[in-house]
Amino acid sequence: MTVNEYNSCVDFYADGIFRFALKTLSDADKANDVVQDSFERLWVKRSKVDYSKAKSYLFTTAYHACIDTIRDDKRVTRIEESHELSIDNQYTDLQEILHAALNTLPKVQRSVILLRDYEGYSYSEIEEITGLNESQVKVYIYRGRLALKKFIGKPQTVI
């Protein structure tokens, strides 16, 4: 990969990786660290990574960096937090409700749903990024969507 190709990767994929990391970690500073780490790893391995596979490499690296960050946070806090959000019938900010619903999911389910529904990856691409097999990816997405549906409830509740 040339320097120009690397720079174009930064231009094309930095925002998408940041969005993915931010949705996964819910912390902008940690998401920025993940983006920086992903591009640093790409720079170090630029001679081994083909430009056509740079996007997949970056998202795979970002996914693993997010998992590492989550594991580090668990070691530091050792406290499980569970927040229940009661939604007022008059509250209509759907994005806020969806964000709260995503935060109730386990990290793996949240990651695969974000990769599938927000970033538009196929099941096989998610399989490559996460290291799960395709049937596991499908199961996590299915269970995550059921949990989201249960959390959100009927459309009348949201509207």
Structural domain total, the chain: 2
Q: Are residues 44 and 57 in the same domain?
A: yes
**Tokens at 130, concatenated:** 């996460």
Q: What does the pLDDT read at residue 148? A: 83
Smallest Cα–Cα separation from 92: which of 15, 17, 156, 48? Answer: 156
Please report the pLDDT score of residue 77 as a whole number. 52
Please report, for the domain that includes residue 55, its CATH number: 1.10.1740.10
Residue ending a domain, choose from 37, 64, 81: 81
Q: Are residues 64 and 87 in the same domain?
A: no
| 53 plus 41 within the same structural domain | yes
Residues 87, 133 share a domain: yes
Q: What is the pLDDT of residue 88?
A: 47
Tell me if 35 sits within 8 A of 17, measured CB to CB: yes
Same domain, 67 and 9: yes
* Residue 108 shares a structural domain with residue 61: no
Domain holding 29, by residue range, is: 1-81
Whether 70 and 114 map to the same domain: the answer is: no
Query: Do residues 57 and 106 both lie within one domain?
Result: no
Q: Write out the two tokens for 144.
A: 């995550």
Q: What is the pLDDT of residue 150?
A: 82
Q: DSSP labels for the chain?
A: --HHHHHHHHHHHHHHHHHHHHHHHS-HHHHHHHHHHHHHHHHHTTTTS-GGGHHHHHHHHHHHHHHHHHHHHHHHH--------PPPTT---HHHHHHHHHHTS-HHHHHHHIIIIIS---HHHHHHHH---HHHHHHHHHHHHHHHHHHH--HHHH-
Same domain, 66 and 110: no
pLDDT digits (tens, 9 = 90+) for 123-143: 888 888 888 888 898 899 888
CATH code: domain of residue 91: 1.10.10.10
Q: What is the pLDDT, as a whole number, of residue 18?
A: 92
What pLDDT shows up at residue 2?
Answer: 86
pLDDT tens per residue across all 159 residues of the chain: 888 888 888 888 889 999 988 888 888 888 999 999 999 999 998 889 888 888 889 989 999 898 888 887 776 654 444 444 444 444 456 777 778 778 888 888 888 888 888 888 888 888 888 888 888 988 998 888 888 888 877 555 455
> Are residues 122 and 133 located together in one domain of the fold?
yes
